[in-house]
Structure 1
Amino acid sequence: MNQGLIHALLLDGRGGARELDPGQLARWQPEQGCLWLHFDYRSDRSRDWLQRHSGLDRVATAALLSEATRPRATSHGHGLLIALREVNQNPGADPEDMVALRIWIEPHRIVSTRNRPLASEDMLKQRLAQQKGPLNTDALLADLVAELIRPLADIVDELDDAIDELETRFLDNSLAEARGELLTQRRQLIQFRRYLSPQREAIARLLADKDNGWLSHEVKTSLRETQDSLHRYLENMEALRERAMALDDARANQLSEQLNKRMFVLSVITALFLPLSFMTGLLGVNLAGIPLADSPAAFGIFVLTLTLLVMGQIWYFRRRKWI
């Protein structure tokens, strides 16, 4: 099981924890303290231990091993089944490619699974090593949920700065080349809201569920503060999404206006040269009876006529305020 077990930590009730080896884990009893088991569910050994030795029923085991998860929180038997997501902070990964965390929590034990490293788990392990961690399982749950959404503050600030820069470029008339960046920002905001909105509902469900009365008042207060923070982040993301949409519309209007101006210039040029083309075509036919065909002043008169025609067109266009 070691290959799939990331850690087995026994909380000491004073903010610290110690690692249990397989033998100590097999002999663990709730009276010894709160236990946090964390697995990589991709491992066959993890699957085997959860199915055969965890003491969990099929529903809880299937939830911990599920590939596809949606944020949720439901009471099941004497514990809670929770699925949450964290911003992907692994090197080279897209932040919006969220990492799922599946949790089974009961009064003296937490069993969690994931398939990619989580920054929140490392942060909690560091705090436990420094004797500054949670004292029991419900406090561990509250701290874990808080750590899962903590990176959103930096993400929202980065997205806000990116939108501000794009708005500045729009004012400088240099946004046309940055359409890809704008689409990237909109895609990120849409994906964040898609995954985080259910997470807010899961935390609300966790707070409203009357079957989890063993969660302390302090833990529920902490969860409520986390829910408020998540709600605020989602509101900020919605505002950023609306700004991005307005900026995209403004960019499209700007491009349309530029295209209309170019088409107008081409239309004016066409209007000016259309009568000239008609006159030159008419007088260029090789037929008898062309006026002034034998006159040495014919070319000058023709050029003067064309000049007057163009000047007349320009005067008419200006009078109609077309140019």
Structure 2
Amino acid sequence: MTNQQHEAATPLLWACNIDATGKLVSQGPDIIDQPPDGGYQWVHLQSDNADALTLLSRMQLPESVCDGLCALETRPKAMTMDNGVLLFLRGINRNPDADPQDMVSLRVWIDGNRIVTARRRNRRLMSVQDVKATLDQGEGPTSPIDLVLRIITRIADRISETVDDLDEALSDFEAREQLDNRARLQLSELRRQAAAIRRYLAPQRDALDAMYRLSEGWSKDDVFWLREQTDRMTRYVEDLDLAKERAMVLQDELRNRIAEQQGMRMYVLSLITAIFLPLSFLTGVFGMNVAGLPGTEDPQAFTHLAMFMAGAAAVMLVGMLWKRWL
């Protein structure tokens, strides 16, 4: 059975009982009804599955918590609810063929020695997969708080990679001597990407700050760790603001270059028009089919007129050069 078929069949992605040293004790759907005597339990599920609410009710979670975990749309925030903490996070989308700015939502419920995480179908968050991999290797989190902090750290790491990619792309544009219309489209895409990521990072920073205020009873190391991740989110928000401004400056410079090039072309065309305007006047006058035009009987008249027109053009060209119009 493929992963997608498994997700469609059951809302439960995994359920694990973990001891206080971070070792996996047991896992499987049956342990949901068997909370561990020591350590804690981690349940990860698909929130938009038809049976998700039934599974959460089986775990005897409050109705308000069930609704929060199964909400279709979420924004990062943290709140206390029914003797627990409900936390909504957003992470960079690293799924195949996915747009990184289409950030993945993760719902987290912490209640004593139990933690429940939820995400939507086909919206895997690689940060959660990383933490699960460490658990399978016998080096898992030692508590629900430790697990949440590891997920937050992994999310911040991937955000850092994306922000660094944006910075490198903008540095590459700044190093170019010439920017074309294609560069303008690429800069617009970078601005859109930075704005989309910042849209969720700013409230996520506030959510972690709220989580910090709810950290009463945590160990000093956990509080320091959470404070560090909150500061990281703040730096990334500032970096994204700077990236947007750099992209705007580059776009303005590109528009100025294009306008300058267009103005130069129009200027050259205007000078060419000024040179040929009197010549066009002469050809128009001598091209009139009326009697009395001078030189109509002189076989050398065309040569004289052509030489006069060439001399007039040369005089005008020299005058423009002397005036430094060219």
Q: Judge conservation of contact 1:189–1:237 (CA < 8 Å) in 2.
A: yes
Q: Judge conservation of contact 2:39–2:142 (CA < 8 Å) in 1.
A: no
Alignment of 1:1-323 (within 5 A): 3-28=10-35, 31-50=37-56, 52-115=57-120, 116-169=123-176, 171=177, 173-209=178-214, 212-323=215-326
Distance in 2 (CA, whole Å) between partners of 1:64 and 1:268 is: 71
For normalisation by structure 2, the TM-score amounts to 0.91
Q: Judge conservation of contact 1:166–1:175 (CA < 8 Å) in 2.
A: no
Distance in 2 (CA, whole Å) between partners of 1:204 and 1:24 is: 33
Q: Judge conservation of contact 2:83–2:111 (CA < 8 Å) in 1.
A: yes
For normalisation by structure 1, the TM-score amounts to 0.92
Deviations 1:195-231 (A, max 9, x none): 111111110111124xx52433322211111111122
Distance in 2 (CA, whole Å) between partners of 1:23 and 1:71 is: 31
Identify unmatched segments of 5+ residues in structure 1: none
| RMSD (CA atoms) | 1.8
Identify unmatched segments of 5+ residues in structure 2: 1-6
Q: CA, structure 1 residues 303+23, in 2 after alignment: closer, same or farther (shift >3 Å)? A: closer
Deviations 1:96-151 (A, max 9, x none): 11110001111211111101111112111122223322211112121121122211
Deviation at 1:298, TM superposition (A): 1.2
Deviation at 1:5, TM superposition (A): 0.6
Distance in 2 (CA, whole Å) between partners of 1:65 and 1:263 is: 61
Aligned partner of residue 222 in structure 1, secondary structure? helix
Deviation at 1:25, TM superposition (A): 2.1
Distance in 1 (CA, whole Å) between partners of 2:281 and 2:17 is: 95
Q: Judge conservation of contact 1:64–1:113 (CA < 8 Å) in 2.
A: yes
Deviations 1:254-289 (A, max 9, x none): 111111111111111111111111111111111112
Deviation at 1:174, TM superposition (A): 4.7
Deviations 1:58-104 (A, max 9, x none): 22111100111000011112011110011011111111111100011
Aligned partner of residue 287 in structure 1, secondary structure? coil
Output the amino acid matched with 2:23.
G
Aligned partner of residue 290 in structure 2, secondary structure? coil
Q: Judge conservation of contact 1:283–1:290 (CA < 8 Å) in 2.
A: yes
Aligned partner of residue 307 in structure 2, secondary structure? helix
Q: Which moved more, 1:220-229 or 1:156-165?
A: 156-165
Count the aligned residue pairs: 317
Output the amino acid matched with 2:44.
H
Identity over aligned residues, as a percent? 34
Q: Which moved more, 1:1-10 or 1:258-267?
A: 1-10
Distance in 2 (CA, whole Å) between partners of 1:19 and 1:12 is: 10
Output the amino acid matched with 2:51.
R
Distance in 2 (CA, whole Å) between partners of 1:57 and 1:27 is: 18
Distance in 2 (CA, whole Å) between partners of 1:246 and 1:150 is: 28
Deviations 1:267-323 (A, max 9, x none): 111111111111111111111121222122211221122122212222332233211
